[in-house]
Amino acid sequence: MGHVTLRTLGLAALLLYAGAAASAQAESVDLSIDAAHPGARISPDVFGQFAEHLGTGIYGGIWVGKDSPIPNVRGIRSDVVAALRALKVPNVRWPGGCFADEYHWRDGIGPAASRKSTVNTNWGGALEPNSFGTDEFMDFIDQIGSNAYLSVNVGSGSVREAAAWLEYMTAAPSSTAGQERAANGHPQPYRVKFLGLGNESWGCGGSFSPDYYVNEMRAYARLVHNFNAAQTGDLAMQRIAVGADGAKTDYLESVMKAWQEKVWAWDIEGVSLHSYTSAGWPPAHPSTHFGEDEYALLLADTLHMEGLISVHSSIMDRYDPQKKVTLAVDEWGVWLAPLPGTNAGFLVQQNSLRDALLAALNINIFARHADRVRMANIAQMQNVLQAMIMTDGGRMVLTPTYHVFQMYVPFQGANALPIGFDAGRYSYKAISLPRLDAIAARQGNGHVVLSLVNLDPTQPLTIHAHLNGLSVHAAQAQTLTAPSVDAVNTFETPTAVIVKPLASQTTGGVVTLTLPAKSVSVVELQ
């Protein structure tokens, strides 16, 4: 195995997908980072979360009720709040998902006795007690220090119902809607940073044709007002229209065409993309007890996000070359077979080291497209799909994916930097993957932060990081790895996959460190 020397890379080449070049296996790789030419800002909103009324995502995962023996503040469990605060969660999408297009907000406000019990038709036919409604969600958002991303009901609701909901949340305390809110404990208007105009309207949200959806979307965009006087200018609410179902881009084309031809009366600020990693449908790959075959297969599948976003961006560029409209990847993550013994409608799966790498690879893709992808929401926050946190009664465990989100906090709001390297490929049977995936970004204080994903499950990789435009004096690195690709954290062994310090040397401005096999590492350079 040989040392791959630093190639002379122009800026354009540096900006190419970093893992694209293939070469022989390398045990030592030179990385060149251009700190003098910062690119687009990596929006903190790319690290958004998704919390749907699904399984125990809300009930049990967030809401335990005021009388619960589980420590809570106004019914919201305190251990989960503390864990989420550490992630600096920028926004939480709620109440769904498919649930949103059957949600009627009035069922979930007011005194407990007036809350309606309904059936969660999408997710296992579970009883929906509506104990966690608008005021509880806003309390939760406040407790974790985040922002609200609300999805209004376009499928089975009406413009009038959605408009009344926004009025309830944002109108002045002197108005009738504001007084109702005050009677429910919150005189001051809430802040609603993002508003989703429906969810998967091509599927569970109503199975509308693109043209029908666009007609509906225009009315919601025009008539559902945010009255919060504090939300003006940069703080104005952003409306996200329903976009593509993965590679099926008919909705995206229709929404963007309508936006290009729009009149003064309406606008949108974003369009969504939903894309899960499942390597086949319905999701059948196990979340535990798997080997290198499942590891390589799911990572190969997730890397399709790169091409998907490139295609979406180029479509959007045709209608919006100034990149005013955000591509919001507001549902992404790995979707695996339900854990044996669980309700299949609750979408419970374990979360392994492999899934942590998968999360990092997706975030890196979003960062490479930071000029267009300014929002993303992993599915989902607690106990559902690729969760940050799993709970069982009073117990809580942080998943490997949680640790990736915590490691990436320094990237929130930093500017992406050109990075170049040639680390060769990692191959398993017919699957060939880049051996290394990496991004670099410059924070507001001038520090540079790197993320380095060593996809090779057996070989460590030594990195020599060379910086242009910054003299490095010190580096601090940490890494997430485990003995096997399917390692998971359980309630009994919560620290099987945790972040550990990683040794590095800085000599003559070059930072050298060895990435463990199958690892995600983050390095802060000063």
Residues labelled as active-site residues:
200, 331
The residue count for binding ligand AHR (CB under 6 A) is 10
Q: Does 61 bind ligand AHR (CB under 6 A)?
A: no
Binding-site member from 45, 167, 269, 331 for ligand AHR (CB under 6 A): 331
Residue 496 to residue 481: CA distance in whole angstroms: 9
Q: At its nearest, how many Å lie between ligand AHR and the CB of residue 331? A: 6
The binder of ligand AHR chosen from 30, 34, 45, 52 (CB under 6 A): 52
Question: Closest approach of Cβ 210 to ligand AHR, in Å?
Answer: 17
For position 102 contacting ligand AHR by CB under 6 A, the verdict is no
Helix ranges restricted to H, 75-158: 78-85, 134-144
Using the minimum distance from each CB to ligand AHR, give the nearer residue, 120 or 451: 120
Token code pair at residue 456:
């090779």
Residue 128 is a binding residue for ligand AHR (CB under 6 A): no
Query: 256 is written with which tokens?
Result: 């963007």
Show contacts with ligand AHR in window 288-317 (CB under 6 A). none
Q: Which of 76, 81, 98, 453 binds ligand AHR (CB under 6 A)?
A: 98
Contact between 55 and ligand AHR per CB under 6 A: no
- Nearest approach in angstroms of CB 268 to ligand AHR is 19
How many of the other CB atoms lie within 10 Å of CB of 245? 18
3-state secondary structure 58-83: CECCCECCCCCCCCEECCEEHHHHHH
State the nearest-atom distance from the C-beta of 103 to ligand AHR, in Å.
11
Smallest distance, ligand AHR to C-beta of residue 347, A: 6
96 binds ligand AHR (CB under 6 A): yes
CA distance 356 to 485: 10
Report which residue's Cβ sits closest to ligand AHR: 97
- Pick the closer one to ligand AHR by CB: 385 or 480: 385
Please, which residues bridge with residue 427 across strands?
Answer: 432
> In angstroms, what is the minimal distance from the CB of 274 to ligand AHR?
6
- From CA 80, how far away is CA 47, in angstroms rounded? 17
Largest interatomic CA distance in the chain: 73
490 and 496 in contact (C-beta within 8 Å)?
Answer: yes
Q: For residues 92 and 188, what is the distance between their CA atoms, to the nearest angstrom?
A: 20
Name the minimum Å distance from CB 465 to ligand AHR. 37
Stretch that binds ligand AHR, among 71-79, 93-101, 304-312, 320-328 (CB under 6 A): 93-101
Closer CB to ligand AHR, 203 or 413, in the complex: 203
Nearest distance, CB of residue 201 and ligand AHR, angstroms: 10
Task: Pull the structure tokens for residue 155.
Answer: 């499928």
Torsion of CA 401, 402, 406, 407, to 10 degrees: -30
| Of residues 386 and 484, the one with the C-beta less far from ligand AHR | 386
CA distances from 209 to 106, 203, 205, 383, 419 (A): 28, 10, 11, 33, 42
**Nearer to ligand AHR by C-beta: 102 or 167?**
102
Nearer to ligand AHR, 100 or 453 (CB): 100
Residue type, 440: A
Q: State which of residues 97, 189, 196, 210 lies at the interface with ligand AHR (CB under 6 A).
A: 97
Q: Please state, in angstroms and rounded to a whole number, the distance separating the CA atoms of residues 159 and 151.
A: 13
Binding segment (CB under 6 A) for ligand AHR, from list 96-104, 320-328, 368-376, 500-508: 96-104
Q: Return the number of the residue (136 or 331) whose C-beta is nearest ligand AHR.
A: 331
Amino acid making up residue 59? Y
Give CA separation, 85 vs 80, 89, 406, in Å.
9, 7, 10
Instruction: State the nearest-atom distance from the C-beta of 203 to ligand AHR, in Å.
Output: 6
Cβ-count burial of 45 within 10 angstroms (0-12 exposed, 13-18 middle, 19+ buried)?
buried
Angle among Cα 497, 499, 502 to the nearest 5 degrees reads 125
Interaction mask 367-406, ligand AHR, x per CB under 6 A? ------------xx----x---------------------
Stretch that binds ligand AHR, among 18-26, 32-40, 95-103, 396-404 (CB under 6 A): 95-103
User: Helix/strand/coil (H, E, C) string of 170-191?
Assistant: HCCCCCHHHHHHHHCCCCCCCC
With CA atoms as reference, report the closest residue to 377 among 389, 364, 386. Answer: 386
Query: Which one of the spans 91-99, 179-187, 483-491, 495-503 is the region binding ligand AHR (CB under 6 A)?
Result: 91-99
CA distance linking residue 274 with residue 161, whole number of Å: 25
195 or 470: CB nearest ligand AHR: 195
Q: Which is nearer to ligand AHR, 98 or 407 (CB)?
A: 98
The answer to whether residue 199 forms part of the interface with ligand AHR (CB under 6 A) is: yes
Residues near ligand AHR (CB under 6 A): 52, 96-98, 199-200, 331, 379-380, 385
